[in-house]
Amino acid sequence: MEFSKLFIALIFILQTLVFVSSAPGNSNLFREYIGAEFKNVKFSDLPIDKNVEFHFILSFAVDYTTSSSASPTNGKFNIFWDTDNLTPSQVAAIKSKNSNVKVALSLGGDSVGGGSAYFNPSSVNSWLSNAVSSLTNIIQEYNLDGIDIDYEHFQTDPDTFTQCIGQLISTLKKNGVISFASIAPFDDDQVQSHYMALWKSYGHLIDYVNFQFYAYDEGTTVSQFMNYFETQRSNYKGGKILPSFISDGSGGLSPENGFFTACKAIMID
């Protein structure tokens, strides 16, 4: 059985949650994106099962200015999550109370300052230098453990994206700044061309594929979901693919329509 078959994910998008359950002998994992909606959600608002590895993913850090007319900064990342409720001291507190909790940050996202958040480097070397420096500062300030890549719009080619992001993950891991990295693609031709190019060259450094299965059409059926999963398992061959759903039911396969049935079938497939 391929390792990617062992992971089942549950993603809710208001405060995006990801639950991952693995087969016996591998640790369970629950992941939640937090902070993007500014709904005063705190780390302590979620019950944490001591038997589950729990990842909070702060959303988002973006290489844009924080002004009302945000503009690209070529890899100089700023924080765009709810810093009133998700502070360095609160990260320290939740991790000190729960040895099974890790905290990461997600890069990019869909929008910033009322417009799309584009991946738009001036050059690989300049973007990489700025990104390593700015992200290292944020990660060390917040005592974070990993990064997630969630760029959804691009003003550069797949090869440039691959070299920037691949070298970023490689450098941060080599420097001991992070211990894991994930990517969050969805089924869009431009998005897939960039992330699959990244996977081809740097997939060995990517620990999880947080695939956005909730981006498929609302009313997805169990059989459709399983076909989608099989397709993405082929696209990101050998990866830990995380199936997902959105809590408001606006897309993908919902629990009411058989999400857990599909997950069970995937696990025994």
d(CA 156, CA 165): 12
Beta strand 208-209 with 17-20: parallel, antiparallel or unpaired? unpaired
DSSP summary character for residue 217: P
Residue 259: name the closest of 242, 244, 240, 247 by CA: 244
Distance of alpha carbon 71 from alpha carbon 236, whole angstroms: 32
Strands 28-34 and 146-151: unpaired
Determine which one of 152, 218, 230, 256 is catalytic.
152
Has 141 been annotated as catalytic? no
Sign of CA dihedral 66, 67, 69, 72: negative
DSSP structure string for 149-184? EEE-EESS-HHHHHHHHHHHHHHHHHTTS-SEEEE-
CA distance 251 to 113: 25
How far is C-alpha 181 from the geometric centre of its chain's CA atoms? 8
Task: Please state, in angstroms and rounded to a whole number, the distance separating the CA atoms of residues 131 and 176.
Answer: 15
Q: Give, for 126, the enclosing helix (H) or strand (E).
A: helix 124-142
- The residues that are catalytic are 152
